[in-house]
Amino acid sequence: MFNLLFLFFAVFTVGCAAAVVCLRNAVNAAMCLLLCLAGVAGLFISLDAFLLAFLLILVYAGAVVALFLFIIMLLDIQGQAALGRRGWGTVAGLGAAALLLVGWAGIAFRGRAALPATAGPHPFDATLQIYSDLLFTTYLLPVEIIGFLLLIAMLGVIALSQRGPAPKPPTAATE
Amino acid sequence: MIAPSLHAYVAISAALFALGFFGVLVRRNTLVIFMSLELMLVAATLALVAFSRYNGTLDGDVFVFFILTVAAAEVAVGLAIIVALFRQRRTIQVDRLDALKN
């Protein structure tokens, strides 16, 4: 039963990811990204990471995908061609993806002994308290840095989204 | 209650990362390239959670918090850049954004 659920979520996630990459319409791609993230959240639950599954849905599916959809509708790019000419980029992409998978296969079939095959019972009850203990003792400095990063990102977005001067036509001097 | 092996999770993670990488290289729409980047980040997240679960630690899980935060900041800034770009050039197709080419 559990293996069946795992198989379902695995196939669902990878299928939706393939749809994100292949679909021509950006809105459909964003919707498939949403489904793919839901699948990853299911995989997180199968790994006993309940809090992370919740956060993934909340942050990614709730905020990030909604932001993507807003921007897609704001820009209204439906009139433009979804795919341009695809030459060496396709070859390079396929080659790089195949290389990544070959690397995984090398680990899976040559170095199988190096990885723990089965997980024991979870040593922690993955409650919020354990996470917060780690976040506010061992990882306090990274938390502060991340908070600062969020502040800087917010300021950057405000600065970027202010309407700048109109684009100047190129003159002969600058060409 | 965990039955599948770590290799299964690493395989899914590798497949997601490969798909995202393929999308970044192949697609022409900047927004879809950005979604493919998100796929790659999620793949790394899945690998971290799986490894930390199978090794009996929580450090990988905590690292996922940081990845989520950085991804949220990255999306906000990146989409702001895309909107600013669209205002200037009226397109977000990467093969038409060739002002630095020559």
Cβ-Cβ contacts under 8 Å between A and B: the total is: 237
pLDDT digits (tens, 9 = 90+) for A106-152: 777 776 656 666 666 666 666 788 888 888 999 999 999 999 999 99
Residue of A nearest to B3 (CA): A3
Query: Is the CB of residue B92 less than 8 Å from the CB of residue B29?
Result: yes
Question: Chain A contacts of B77, Cβ < 8 Å?
Answer: 153, 156-157, 160
Predicted TM-score (pTM) of the model is 0.85
pLDDT digits (tens, 9 = 90+) for B57-70: 888 889 999 999 99
Residue of A nearest to B67 (CA): A146
First to last CA, chain A: 67
Residue linked to tokens 């092996």: B5
Show which of residues 115-134 on chain A sit within 8 Å of chain B, judged by CB atoms: 115-120, 122-124, 126, 130-131, 134
| pLDDT of the residue at A117 | 61
A67's CB contacts (< 8 A; 6+ apart) are B75, B76, B79
The one-letter amino acid code at B54 reads Y
A7-29 CB burial, b ≥16 within 10 A, e <16: eebbebbbebbbbbbbbeebeeb
Is the minimum CB–CB distance between A58 and chain B shorter than 8 Å?
no
C-alpha B61/C-alpha B79 separation (Å) is: 27
Tell me which of A13, A69, A90, A162 to substitute to probe the interface with B (most B C-beta atoms closer than 10 Å).
A13
Residue A143 half-sphere exposure, CB side, CA atoms within 13 Å? 11
- Over pLDDT 70: what percentage of chain B? 96
Residue linked to tokens 């070959």: A102
B49-80 CB burial, b ≥16 within 10 A, e <16: bbbbbbbeebebbbbbbbebbebbbbbbbbbb
A130:B58 CB<8 A: yes
Residue linked to tokens 């950057």: A156
C-alpha A16/C-alpha B60 separation (Å) is: 25
Q: What is the ipTM of this complex?
A: 0.91
pLDDT digits (tens, 9 = 90+) for A44-86: 998 888 889 999 999 888 889 999 999 988 887 655 555 545 6
| pLDDT of the residue at B6 | 83
Residue linked to tokens 């061609």: A81
Q: What are phi and psi of B3, to 5 degrees?
A: -110, -45
Residue of B nearest to A87 (CA): B26
C-alpha A46/C-alpha B55 separation (Å) is: 15
